[in-house]
Amino acid sequence: MKFMAKNSLFAILLRSSWWISMLVAAGLVLVAVAVVPPAYAPFPIFGAIPFIVISGVAAWKQRNKPSQARIEETSQALSVLSWSAFADQLEAALRKDGCEVKRLKGLKGDAADFEVTRAGSGRALMSARRWKAAHTGVEPLQRLQAARAEAGANEGIYVSLGAASGPALAYAAQNNIQIMDAQALAKLFRHR
């Protein structure tokens, strides 16, 4: 059962910055004080309460989200690394994040580079060799999915600083493949 429609006002505000909801709430309070007769002023003020709650929920959800400047900084730093340096840093960051990491060689034509295990989450195969690719299509995800099926892993993780195409995102969603994009990498490398 869905709690909220995807494009409802509150769903959009939950995906937006927290301060936008607070701005709407402040606007309702200002209207209540400035325009509405005093006898009816409590109604818009009470109408502001859901926006204040949404603001709090959005702020809570966004508390660990890296800033756009941090994402750009991390992307720039990672894009100049060689594969071996990036692989070493990625492995160290995953271990610091509480994962067990094992490097893979020769699995399905190098479709997967790491086996990542986290307590309670099961095993995942990670493909990270094309992290510098500007765009991701379906083909590398299909290779990762084949390697994941062959190895019996629960999920796949595809690492890329670039954007994934619409069909690639749909394929990833259908096949339990998580795309670790620039934002996720900035969050993972937050302690660099």
In a domain, 1, yes or no: no
Residue pLDDT, tens place only, 118-163: 877 788 999 998 889 888 899 999 999 999 988 888 899 999 998 8
Which one-letter amino acid corresponds to residue 135? H
C-alpha distances (whole Å) from 67 to each of 13, 63, 178 are: 18, 10, 21
Give the number of domains in the chain: 2
Residues 56 and 74 grouped into a single domain: no
Q: Which residues contact 125 (CB under 8 A, 6 or more apart)?
A: 104, 107, 112, 114, 115, 116, 144, 147, 148, 151, 153, 155, 156, 157
Residue 36: is its pLDDT beyond 90? no
Order the strands of the 100-103 sheet from edge to edge. Answer: 100-103, 114-118, 122-127, 155-159, 177-180
What's the pLDDT band for 1 if we cut at 50, 70, 90? very low
In a domain, 14, yes or no: yes
Domain that holds residue 126: 68-188
Say how far apart CA 14 and CA 148 lie, in whole Å.
Answer: 34
What's the sign of the alpha-carbon dihedral 38, 42, 47, 49? positive
Residue 77's nearest CA partner among 128, 39, 131 is 131
Say how far apart CA 108 and CA 116 lie, in whole Å.
Answer: 17
Quote the percentage of the chain above a pLDDT of 90.
37
pTM score over 0.85: no
Residue pLDDT, tens place only, 111-120: 889 999 987 7
Residues 13 and 101 grouped into a single domain: no
Place of tokens 């796949």: 156
- Strands 155-159 and 122-127: what pairing? parallel
Residue pLDDT, tens place only, 8-25: 888 888 888 889 999 999
In a domain, 4, yes or no: no
